[in-house]
Amino acid sequence: MKTLAQKILDAHVVSGTLKAGEQVEIIMDQTLTQDATGTMAYMQLEAMGIGQVKTELSVSYVDHNTLQSGYMNADDHAYLQSVAAKHGIYFSKAGNGICHQLHLERFAKPGRTLIGSDSHTPTGGAMAMIAIGAGGLDVAKAMAGIPYRITYPKICQVRLSGKLAHGVSAKDIILELLRRESVKGGVGKIYEYTGEGVCTLSVYQRATITNMGAELGATTSIFPSDETTREFLVRQQREEDFIPLAADEGAEYDETIEIDLSTLHPAAACPNSPDNVLSVASLAGKKVDQVAIGSCTNSGYEDLMKVASILKGRTIAPNVSLVISPGSRQVMRKLIKNGAFATFVDAGARILECTCGPCIGMGQSPKSDGVSLRTFNRNFYGRSGTLSAEVYLVSPETAAASAITGVFTDPATLEYDDQFETEPSYVDDSLIYAPADDPEQVEVIFGPNIKPLPINDALENTFEKKIVIKLEDNITTDHIAPAGAKVLPYRSNIEKLSTFVFENNKKDFYKVCNEHNGGIIVAGENYGQGSSREHAALAPMFLGVKAVIAKSFARIHLANLINFGIIPFVFADKADYDRIDDLDDLVFENVHGLANDVNFIVYDRTKDIRIPVVAQISPADFELLKYGGALNYIRSTQDTILDK
């Protein structure tokens, strides 16, 4: 008797023991990349010497870096289009939509595995896929046919009963889970949704939930494939991709969480963390300056139809700026046809293109001390581009209702129609280009923004380095390698990008690293939560960071550190965090002798104390570290691990 997640995982495992906590290797059927992580991923694929990708399907999307002020982003787009054509990868052009929504609409298939260089890849779990976010190098490896290594997760059942009340939305379900479980509650887990409440949720609603499972720190989240899934696929004109899939009757779960949908109320994640959840009712009346509707979490057809329903015949409050970015061109086209789009314009909304936009700080930063309500998935410090802004994460219904009144408003208190016909989707793949028939003829275009991949040195057996920064709990990858319109254009230029590392925590961090010839990062719990951006490991690697000592790590960032040859240590005794300080000299002796889960002693020369730390990583990962990271390892051992 198996859970749904186990069924799909087990059918894809090629080595390892199928038991929670054990390392397994799984074959990935599909891959996706987006532009902000894709350039590195494809440079790494090319560095491996791969001709055609080995996956069933690989897609490259352009959706993040679309604000083209300067040549940089456009250079990246041209590179991505040409490299995709050459290596057997489908390419979705800028403006076509956000990778996760488009992938769900056009390519996701029940029962398949997907790895994507974006932390919200688990959105595909709404289509009964095992969909996992990872660093670009892991995605490049999957395209090269190398199985993906993960710790076999615990399977946590989320049993849904009842039905959502008027004004309550899928966003409120996942916010409730975040309230209960926290941003690190899902580490090492897959959340599998079951129960009679499942069939009351559409595929787009399920996608909101699986998307934001990333904020729980989970490996992924998954829904069964049922009649609702079939109808979605029929509307996308690909019913042939449907297969029914569910857990076996009597399957056993490691844990069960019960949620009665009828008891939920509209909720908001308050600054600066997605798990800082309060009811909208408790915030009612608080003045709002900006409302942003969109992102891969909440810009599907139904989300925007509900927004249109609330905005119909009304106009936004004078104190509010409302921006709307539809998740895909298909959805936008349909809203144009059925009149919903005209409603947005009439209400006073500012319409943005179908991209990530303000979610990643590509424009629309709020005013100083502004209160911004966003239907997005992350409200980390500084991510909006305005450090003093207060960003709240809410449902599209709460966002639309508050845009009209100008204050936090519980949508349950408003009359609006939340039933609308689910007509056939408008399907249009005209901005998705198939790979070239004659790949040898394709020339890959490298504009001046694309700089060569930095290569790490092999790991020294003994070294001494200073602590270059000491950080608190829950440091996000947005702290490490900030996003936003100013920094993101340098994602293909690591030298330049490295000058922004920790810019909001320690000004000129890169100069400190240069002065001390690299160093060691010390951090609290859940270090590296949030995005999959490998730049948060790659740029510190470039600055000479050799190890991070933290109380605990987020899953994807831990893997990225190993991939780029930075040793992730955890304190054997968390109390030792308080005994060491910024600029202490740390000595690491005989690191080549490291073994999984065995105490390793770091000598703090400044304080003359010994700190036991542990590296909880597999023997295979130790090998990567010795070579200075996965790319060095693959290139040195290529003949044996790549079937070219």
How far apart CA 360 and CA 485 sit, in angstroms, is: 8
335 binds ligand MIC (CB under 6 A): no
How far apart CA 523 and CA 184 sit, in angstroms, is: 15
Angle between helices 72-87 and 35-47 (to 10 degrees): 50
531 binds ligand MIC (CB under 6 A): yes
Q: What is the DSSP string of 301-365?
A: HHHHHHHHHHHTT----TT-EEEE--SBHHHHHHHHHHTHHHHHHHHTPEE--SS-GGGGTSS-P
Q: What string marks each residue from 88 to 127 as x (binds ligand SF4 by CB under 6 A) or -?
A: ----------x-------------------x-x-------
Distance of CA 391 to the CA centre of its chain: 18
Q: Which stretch binds ligand SF4 (CB under 6 A): 190-198, 356-364, 511-519, 610-618?
A: 356-364
Determine contact, residues 379/354, Cβ cutoff 8 Å: no
Distance of CA 403 to the CA centre of its chain: 27
Q: Which stretch binds ligand SF4 (CB under 6 A): 4-12, 355-363, 437-445, 447-455?
A: 355-363
Residues 57-86 within binding reach of ligand MIC (CB under 6 A): 64
Among 291, 296, 459, 594, binds ligand SF4 (CB under 6 A): 296
How far apart CA 130 and CA 190 sit, in angstroms, is: 9
Contacts of 391 (CB under 8 A, 6+ apart): 271, 272, 366, 372, 374, 379, 383, 384
Residues 478-517 within binding reach of ligand MIC (CB under 6 A): 483
In this complex, which beta carbon is closest to ligand MIC, that of residue 43 or of residue 259?
43
275 binds ligand SF4 (CB under 6 A): no
How far apart CA 573 and CA 316 sit, in angstroms, is: 54
In this complex, which beta carbon is closest to ligand SF4, that of residue 169 or of residue 409?
169
Retrieve residue 273's tokens: 């963390």
From ligand MIC, ligand SF4, none, interface partner of 157 (C-beta below 5 to 8 A by class): none
118 binds ligand MIC (CB under 6 A): yes
How far apart CA 602 and CA 267 sit, in angstroms, is: 45
Judged by CB under 6 A, the number of residues near ligand MIC is 13
From ligand MIC, ligand SF4, none, interface partner of 295 (C-beta below 5 to 8 A by class): ligand SF4
Distance of CA 412 to the CA centre of its chain: 30
In this complex, which beta carbon is closest to ligand MIC, that of residue 426 or of residue 553?
553
Retrieve residue 341's tokens: 């789009």
Q: What string marks each residue from 24 to 43 as x (binds ligand MIC by CB under 6 A) or -?
A: ------------xx------
Among 360, 371, 404, 480, binds ligand SF4 (CB under 6 A): 360
Q: How far is the CB of 589 from ligand SF4 (least distance, A)?
A: 41
How far apart CA 337 and CA 625 sit, in angstroms, is: 55
Retrieve residue 305's tokens: 């139809």
From ligand MIC, ligand SF4, none, interface partner of 272 (C-beta below 5 to 8 A by class): none
Q: How far is the CB of 618 from ligand SF4 (least distance, A)?
A: 29
How far apart CA 153 and CA 429 sit, in angstroms, is: 35
Q: Which stretch binds ligand SF4 (CB under 6 A): 182-190, 352-360, 436-444, 575-583?
A: 352-360
Q: How far is the CB of 532 from ligand SF4 (least distance, A)?
A: 9
Among 81, 123, 221, 532, binds ligand MIC (CB under 6 A): 532
Q: How far is the CB of 325 from ligand SF4 (least distance, A)?
A: 9
Distance linking the first and last C-alpha atoms of the chain? 38
From ligand MIC, ligand SF4, none, interface partner of 98 (C-beta below 5 to 8 A by class): ligand SF4
DSSP 595: -
Binding site for ligand MIC (CB under 6 A): 36-37, 64, 118-120, 133, 360, 483, 530-533
Binding residues vs ligand SF4 (CB under 6 A):
64, 98, 118, 120, 295-296, 356, 359-360, 376-377
